[in-house]
Structure 1
Amino acid sequence: MNRRLERLRRWWAARPLRFRIATVVGVVALVALLALSRLGVGLLYGTMLGAADAELRGTAVGVAGQLAGGATPALVRGPEVRVVDSAGDPVDGGPDLPLGPKQIRELAAGEALTAGRFTELRRWLAVSAVTPDGSTRLVVVTADIVGGAILLAHAAVGFLVGALVVAGVVVLAAWVATRAALRPVDRMRTAAAALPPGERLPVPVPRDELRALAEEINLLLARRDEAVARLERFTGDAAHELRSPVAAIRAQAEVAVAHPDPDLAQESLRSVAEEAARLSTLLSDLLALARADAGQRLRARPVDLVAAARAAMARAGEGDSDEPVLQLVAPAPAHAAASPSEVDLVLDNLIANARRYARSFVRIGVLPASRSVRLVVEDDGPGIPEADRQRIFDRFLRLSPEAGGGAGLGLALVAALVRGRGGSVTAGATPSGGARIEVRWPAPTPASRPVSEGESPPPRVDGPAAPEAGPGPE
């Protein structure tokens, strides 16, 4: 049964919209017309029986008056009038009534009834009469209603045929109206399919559903053109960025082959290794971005941001004395709903980007909140111009190419990973004018939050004292 219903549902869903609308309208019209037909036949039937009962009751009352005046039952008996006792036995000398005991009781109770086959249909009604000797008699009168029944049958057939015809007309009208209503949509669809890039559909003047549809299609076309343009820029920039390390590796290899000097070969191999590492990093970032765009991410679980920040600082290393000092500000334990690999990528890219521009220090702040956790990375470098604080998360964007470093994918990867988890990334400035990148991750749900043993640790600061106040709650 369920399989049949499912098959029927799939068949119905595969029908054209015009067919489904016309069918539903036709079925509703047919059901409504059949209900009205039944109501009309019922009203006619009730009217016919009411008229017959009134006539029969008048006859019965007249005969009952005669019996009460002393007339004998035999004198008032006729083809349509009979006199019986309370049990239904005739007292007028005529034959038994063609009615059963139950029907006699209904007549004695004052109810009228219809009995007989369709071709011999009769209406029966009885009135009580008290004779001069004190006995109670029933005056039973009857009338032939075959003609009325035939008329009702013809009326019912007429109503049914009329309902079918009208329902057919309604279906045809619904089909034509639906076709006319959907014609502008068909034209709009055809026009949208033939639009060249950059063009938009004309918006109808009336503020109706077609105008709303045209506006939504135009928004969709704008997003399509923007996505295509972004893909083209991404492809071109990726090809350009990949070409540089590949060309450098090829040039160093050709120099090493042309000049087989051990000292020169060692320097060439070192350059090849550096460019290969740069190429590997670029490819890893591109793959991570592609996975983020496709929504391919691991299941979120609570990740200890404080421990992840310490691990990222250890991976970054202290370097020589000229490199900025890394500082960690973690007032309390904090966990983010993400995956460890995502958190590591975000921290590595933010720390690397901050160290590239910092003068003396980079501060990493981990601040828990009620429904989110904040990761703030600050430096004391030249900062980010206010006009560029939205653009820095674009792909292959480098505000200061002379600073060297990556291909402009780090912050774009950070934004893609964090926003993919429902978080946010913003760029700002420190009080001293340095860059400030703030990441907000959603906090784990209470059911998945790890249970810490003992009391919360006191505020902790790793590294030397900061030259300015650390990040605080906004």
Structure 2
Amino acid sequence: MNATEPRRRWWPRSVRARAALAAASTAAVLLFGIGWWVHHDVHRQSTQIAEETARVHLESLCEQLRQGVVPVPTSPIPYEVVATGRRTAVASGGALSTAYPKTHHVMPAPPVGTAALMPVTTVRIPVNRDYNPREKFDIAGGTQRVITADIGPDELRGGKAAALGVAADARLRVYVVVLPYTAEANTKITDRLLLLAGLVSLALIFAVTYFAVRIALRPVEAIRALTASVTASDPRERVTVPAATGHEITALATTINTTLQRLDNAAAQQRRFVADAAHELRSPLTTLLASLEVALAYPERTDWPATATTAARQTRRLQALAEDLLLLARLDTRIPTADPETVDLTALASRLTEQYPLTERPLTLTCDSTAPAHVHGNPDEYERLLRNLIDNAARHAAHRIQITIRNQDAWVILTVHDDGPGVPTEDAERIFERFVRLDDARSRDHGGTGLGLAIARDLAHRHRGTLTLTPRTLGACFRLRLPQAPAPAEK
């Protein structure tokens, strides 16, 4: 494989295949744990049944021996009766009588002691070379689980010992082999059934999960296909919202529709902005071009100083409009303010009040403040914000403009109030839109471009503040609210 080629991953990439594989893997772990528990429980219960069967057979043999009767093999279960002092077995049956025909006895002789019922134990016997694993009552030899019981001399009095062919003081030990065939067979059958059921269950779980996720993702695929067809120039498509409430797909579709609506609104706003900007630029350009063409056509009859004055005025208007558009473009990018500083709005407003030119008509511009008002941000942007508010007030004021600054809790409140005609209540928010001029400000030479208040509000938001129009009975009052900053430490 080429070193530049990406290494292929073994796991599937689709969500439905991954979900199905995860569900099947989880089910496999659970099924393995259940199967392991069932395997051991079946083996334990089957072994208990085999031990109980051997114990019943042991009690039957002991009862016959206590009566002085040599047991006759009536059951294929292997058993052997061994006596002390005797070289051959008193009795044997099952595989113990056929597997070792040349052996005197296979089981060990009982030790001298008190007769007592012994628990299940293990003994080691010779290996059965003729062992047939298909025969469930055959034994393989080696270590075998047995259940035993001892019969003492006291239980063999009255000629019973002689009838059994043992000495009067002999002790008998009865061995019954606990055959493992039943437990092993039951366990193997159970294991095969568990394996088959587990494989079938895993296949069903994988298939059901795969197709369930596939069906659940169909709305997502439909949303993806429709969203892929949406473009920035025409985001009018909408996805179908499922009827089920509280569903994740419903939330996804609703969110995508909301996003598409915002994209549509942004595209419409951008188109409107471009159209308004083109319209605003075309007006001074048309005036400038017309005046120059007339002057060039009739140079001897042209008032060149007036023409130059008109051209300069329109050029300044174009320059101001271009600067406003560039500032709006920068504000729309939402780039954080570079090198923010602590600014005293009181000092800034007082300086603008003193320097603001009021030459066109007599106006009184005052600044009322009781203390320094510190805010955090860019000094140039704050100056542009206040200048826009003062310019707007100066265009509409009749005689007076008043700026008031107060510190209120953790905020700085600045108001710019003029005694002009005011703003209708229904236009209180519309005046902050771009290129919006009310009827009283339709003059393009004196009414501005309609961007001043829009820029002022964007600058307020940029500094985590708000700019609103406060209802007043006389004139317009703009209220700027900014977070208060701690006063800078004195050097």
Q: State the TM-score, normalizing by the size of structure 1.
A: 0.71
Please say if 1:226 is aligned against 2:265: yes
Distance 1:374 1:386 in 2: 22
- The answer as to whether partners of 2:226 and 2:237 remain within 8 angstroms in 1 is no
Shift of 1:412: 1.0
Please say if 1:429 is aligned against 2:463: no
Distance 1:140 1:417 in 2: 102
| Aligned residue runs from structure 1 range 266-277, under 5 A | 266-277=305-316
The equivalent position to 1:179 in structure 2, one of 208, 214, 217, is 214
The match for 1:36 is 34
Structure 1, 60-69 or 299-308: larger mean CA deviation: 60-69
The runs of 5 or more residues in structure 2 that have no matched partner are 1-6, 68-81, 95-103, 110-117, 128-132, 134-139, 155-171
Q: Deviations over 1:59-85 (max 9, x none)?
A: 78899999999x9556789799xxxxx
Amino acid at match of 1:437: F
Distance 1:371 1:65 in 2: 103
Q: State the TM-score, normalizing by the size of structure 2.
A: 0.69
Bigger Cα Rg: 2
Please say if 1:351 is aligned against 2:349: no
The match for 1:100 is none
The match for 1:155 is 190
Kindly report the root-mean-square deviation, in angstroms, between the aligned alpha carbons of the 2 structures: 4.5
The match for 1:20 is 18
Decide which structure has greater helix share: 1
The match for 2:327 is 288
Please say if 1:313 is aligned against 2:353: yes
The 1:207/1:381 distance shift into structure 2, 3 A limit, reads same
Please say if 1:207 is aligned against 2:245: yes
The match for 2:336 is 297
Distance 2:122 2:317 in 1: 103
Distance 1:346 1:113 in 2: 100
Shift of 1:93: 9.1
The 1:178/1:169 distance shift into structure 2, 3 A limit, reads same
Structure 1, 284-293 or 33-42: larger mean CA deviation: 33-42
The 1:140/1:402 distance shift into structure 2, 3 A limit, reads farther
Distance 1:269 1:57 in 2: 128
Structure 2 counterpart SS, 1:320: coil
- The answer as to whether partners of 2:417 and 2:475 remain within 8 angstroms in 1 is yes
Structure 2 counterpart SS, 1:309: helix
- The answer as to whether partners of 2:399 and 2:419 remain within 8 angstroms in 1 is yes
Shift of 1:224: 2.6
Amino acid at match of 1:28: T
The 1:111/1:323 distance shift into structure 2, 3 A limit, reads farther
Q: Deviations over 1:269-290 (max 9, x none)?
A: 3333322222122112111211
Distance 1:190 1:38 in 2: 47
Shift of 1:41: 1.3
Q: Deviations over 1:280-332 (max 9, x none)?
A: 22112111211222212325554332233234335x52433834222222233
Distance 2:122 2:252 in 1: 64
Distance 1:154 1:351 in 2: 95
Shift of 1:392: 0.7
Aligned length: 418
The 1:330/1:11 distance shift into structure 2, 3 A limit, reads farther
Q: Deviations over 1:23-44 (max 9, x none)?
A: 2222222222222222221221
Structure 2 counterpart SS, 1:366: strand
The match for 1:83 is none
Distance 1:440 1:112 in 2: 93
Q: Deviations over 1:376-416 (max 9, x none)?
A: 22111111110100101111001121382420011111222
The 1:141/1:353 distance shift into structure 2, 3 A limit, reads farther
Distance 1:353 1:225 in 2: 31
Distance 1:266 1:177 in 2: 83
